[in-house]
Structure 1
Amino acid sequence: MAEKRSIFEEVGTDTKVKAAPVAGAAEKAKSAARRAISVWLMILFALVVVMIAVGGLTRLTDSGLSITEWAPLSGAIPPLSAEDWQREFDLYRAIPEYQLQNRGMSMAEFQFIYWWEWGHRQLGRVIGLVWGVGFLWFLARRQIPTGWTPKLLGLGLLGGLQGAIGWWMVSSGLTGTMLDVASYRLATHLGLAFLILGLIAWYVFQLRRSEVELLQARRQREQGVFTLMGVFIPLLFLQILLGALVAGIDAGRTYTDWPLMAGVFFPPESTELVPFWSNFFENPALVQFNHRMLAYLVLAFGLYIGFKAAKSALKGVRKWHARMGMALLAQIILGIITVVSIAPWHLAIAHQFLAVILFVLALRARFEAGYPRPENLRG
């Protein structure tokens, strides 16, 4: 029997409630792929952070020159016999660090520094393997979003370049009268590590949001804060490089008073090296002076941006810039404590690790200013 219809019902009206439309399977697959790639990148991020910490400890234990050959593949296998260990020890005894500083070192002492450097290089191989397997997996499954293949491939190429620069750094300490690696090569090595870390972090921020969300978010951009952070982050990066120069020549253990340096504002010996430009890389006085002065500039500029961001109507912008400001203050205080304590290894590593946190927080703060999340502006 035909269903009775109401006399008040409009002609053509469908009385059945239609189901709400759901996202298409293709969009769900794209979203899942972006999440999976971001997880892979976060694993790489964690490994790079560990790599930076291990690299710092390798330097602090004077282990970086213990392996005198670059063997990207065969070097993954450590010495397995007494003869192998003796060969490695003989190679080390031929370089200036042993002859001028560690003469008389025992095999056990050599093995201690060897394992630190071997672990450092092995971790680099692990990072390369994790990148290679992940990249090929997503590429084969055609899950890489449009336009992202060059970005992800670029991370791998930068990782390979980092390995080459690492050997370029080590090779500087194997001849002549060098007791350590060249400080500017150390700064280049650390700087590239932070560049890779920053790119990974930025890519993760992007992949955790859809392309549509990012395009819509740009309309709410805090342009002033976003632009200022575009200046602040390079300054912070430069400060990290200066920190590497300080570490490379142990300048942090040379002038251990604060706020003055050996009782004066500007040590007169800051420009005594010839040629003049070498003072910026090799003179402990000028290197530490530059690191201190730039720290004050970064602090002042960072706090200024924080005050600007505090006026934003967007909660995310205020929150992440406040976190960056707190990390910046903590880093300055820790830096002062490290200097006056004559840079013990645990404080030096903490200072380096906090630099990683500050750098990533600065990137996140800029991302939030550039791509703010939708909010109820009435609170």
Structure 2
Amino acid sequence: MNNFDYARASDVAEAVRLKADTPDAKFIAGGTNLIDLMKYDVEQPRRLIDITRLPLNAVEETSGGGVRIGALVPNSTLAYHPVIESRYPLLSSAILAGASAQLRNMASTGGNLLQRTRCAYFYDVATPCNKRAPGAGCSAKDGLNRNHAILGASADCIATHPSDMCVALAALAATVHVAGAQGERVIAFADFHRLPGDRPDLDNTLRADEIITAIELPAQGFAANYSYLKIRDRLSYAFALVSVAAALDVEGGRIREARLALGGVAHKPWRNDAAEAALRGQAPERAAFERAADILLQDARPQQHNAFKPPLARRAIIRTLTQAADGTPQVQSIKSIR
């Protein structure tokens, strides 16, 4: 680990100023990902800016009927918050599917969005990696790529985004509030994370001096018909091979609104408007779910070692939509698939 300076910000304006003064500085809250990256020499910031004292730890209802979640709300607090559990149980379920209780106690909501890939080649500084060193090459393409992307990948990177929480936030159409030297702005969640293209080192659309201040959820929480299903190599703490967030608004035996997002398959949580549109107006039955799964996966391009992912994802999508339609969501404390 390299030597670094330490500074503590007392408010958002000071955090932004400190970051602007040292562009390669990193904000630190829970540090559940950043500290690992520093230990492996993947990240070598000259300065750490402690933001744990910023007033960003509240969960508040908005005037529009939604909820605003401060960036420093711990994942565990968010998962068990009564408003989230009752109105946005999909988000609560996805958080509880991720990491361990100890990590969830430390990890912040804003930090969860900024997690970096768990690609083994990204973590190994002895191997070429375009995400770590642009132009170096992608070791995963000809290496062991069992856990890698099947959607949205590029010639430069086939890494996947690791978050469970972000898959639910994508399905819920959240927005991300940020602040920087140029002021405040709001980013649609679908636009926050990037596909790799020829710049896989850029995970998101934050500017260099910006900080996440909050995540806002719209009023519609799909509390009656939802499910989050995570398929992984082991039932305990592990990242997803494939995960599915499904949310349905069912009325009169028809699907009025549908949301569907995948994790573990792309550089960002994966949604497809056409797949969701194909569900609207349909009876919540297997045939409709199969069509949506086929649309969602129609551009899948597996790698040498993960040809199992498209059929696995298809089965998972159908199962998760069935759980959502039946009102029998996957229970994260019960590891067997319902």
TM over 0.5: no
TM-score between the two structures when normalised by the length of structure 2:
0.32
Larger fraction in helix: 1
With a CA cutoff of 8 Å and minimum separation of 6, indicate the structure with the bigger relative contact order.
Answer: 1
TM-score between the two structures when normalised by the length of structure 1:
0.29
Larger fraction in strand: 2
